[in-house]
Structure 1
Amino acid sequence: MGFPDGPDTTRRDFLKASAATAAATAVPLVTYAQDNDNATAPPPKATVSLTVNGKSQSLELDTRTTLLDALREHLHLTGTKKGCDQGQCGACTVLVGGRRINSCLSLAVMHEGDSITTIEGLGQPDKLHPMQAAFVKHDGYQCGYCTPGQICSAVAVLDEIKRGIPSHVTADLGTRPLLSAAELRERMSGNLCRCGGYSNIIDAIVEVGGKA
């Protein structure tokens, strides 16, 4: 149906013709979308073998599954939190081979054979890791949502300092202990605390670092 024209055309005629044209155009698009959906193959899967908190795990996963979702949804290790899901907040920080990563940015299939430590693997309520105990002592948390990532990152920070890895603000790696507020704030800058508990977090890290 075309658009009517001429001196006798009314606004109602024009709207009717516009609606009919739009509907006729949409039909093949809807049909194409339905056909395309029916033709879509199931997502590829892969078997991934990991060591998580000292325990061997074998998971069959959609190859698009992030390490974060594998931990939370498949292994039910929900201590690791999903915050921004874009690598900006650090709530999902875990240790892979002792190094901290944002698990939301890493696919599980990339970690075949890797050793992964989550907050549950660092310590349990009846046997806290020293960093966990220091966070409790210094009130290094409020709502607690960012705390697992903060603690995992803090443990890695002390290991990085021990191994002589500089940060952007390190003036002298020979300084011992390398635990100034500026140094630790820089190294922990990838972990956000929306409650603003930063000073207490620094105090907790300094205590543990000073005993190392």
Structure 2
Amino acid sequence: MKRQILCRFAGMLCFIAMSVAVLFAETGERAADLNVKVSEFLAHARRSWWDMNVPYEDGKILHDMVVKGGFQNILEIGTSTGHSTIWLAWAASKTGGKVTTIEIDRKRYEKALQNFKKAGVDPYIDAHLADAHELVPLLRGPFDFVFCDADKEWYLQYFKDLQEKISLGGCFAAHNALWKRSSDIRMFLEYVKQVPDFRTRIEKGSGEGISVSCRIAK
């Protein structure tokens, strides 16, 4: 009797192990397929992004930061037609995360939705057609990573709205940080560099610059 029970138990363990192995294999295949699809889409469209999208080099920086940090709860302010969103969503597919992105212009928003599907990353994106001035203060968070590429005069307010909603170790990144002639950018950078529980650095990337302010323990 004991031998029969042990045999059944061993059989169950073997079945579970085989099922898990198959699941991991299928997951790995899907991830590999997605990597190929996204990389091909981004390479093909590399020179065709307009409407205030980030350059390819800056998109890659965003992707690498999210993957390295293992960030999962990602917020983007300013979708445009989706270039940076696709990079962020591709990273989120590797960390088990998702991107919430906000765009105010309907035409750009609808074009972005098309691009998400073409790139294959739409399952990792929650896109909103909305005014970020109104929506951002209502978001509950917490967020591991925020990328801001919207109206420069509102960068500082976006940061203030989200400052307490950024997780420990999480980051607030803002594009065009090297626009030296912009008083709004200068004001934003002066503020974030003085916040005690954040450390700020600049990633040069394409030359546009990405400021990265990460939350540390007080």
TM-score of the pair, normalised by structure 1:
0.30
TM-score of the pair, normalised by structure 2:
0.29
Larger gyration radius, structure 1 or structure 2: 1
More relative contact order in 1 or in 2 (CA 8 Å, sep 6+)? 1
Structure with a larger share of its residues in strand: 2
